[in-house]
Amino acid sequence: MISEEEKQRYEHPTFYGSGYIAVDFDFTLKKDISFNNPPITKMLELVKYWMSLGIKVKIFTAKTTAQIPQVKDWLNKYGIGSLEVTNLKIIGMRELWDDRAVTVIPNTGNSCCNYRRDLKIR
C-alpha cells in the first residue's frame, strides 16, 4: 500500500518536469532473476501510481539485449508493458529505485545515511 506521505511527494506538480524514475527489474520490481515470478506488489503499485500522475518511468536492467523481449512480456503481463526498458542512466533520470544502490551526497563521495547492509551473493 502506498502511504499518504509517498503520494504527497510525487503529486507536487513540478517535482519531475521532463525527468523520469528508473526502476530496477530484478530484486526491486520482482523478487529474483526468474521471469516466472510475480512482481513485488508495492513496487508495482508505485510504478502504476507514478504513471497515473504522468511521471515517466523506465525499467532499468542489466539483462542482456536478447532477454529484453522476455522483460517486455513480463511487463505486459502485469499491465506496464508500455514502459521503456533500458540499461542506460541518462541525464533526465531523477531517481533510481534499486536494491543495490547507495545514495551519495552530490560532489562529496559521502553516503546520505549510515545504513549498512551485508550483501550476500545471490
pLDDT tens-digit map of 54-101: 889 999 999 989 999 999 999 999 999 999 999 888 888 888 999 888
Assigned CATH topology for domain 4-97: Rossmann fold (3.40.50)
Q: Say which residues have a Cβ less than 8 Å from residue 10's Cβ, sequence separation at least 6.
A: 16, 49, 50, 53, 55
Report yes or no: 86 and 60 within 8 Å, Cβ to Cβ: yes
* pTM of this structure: 0.80
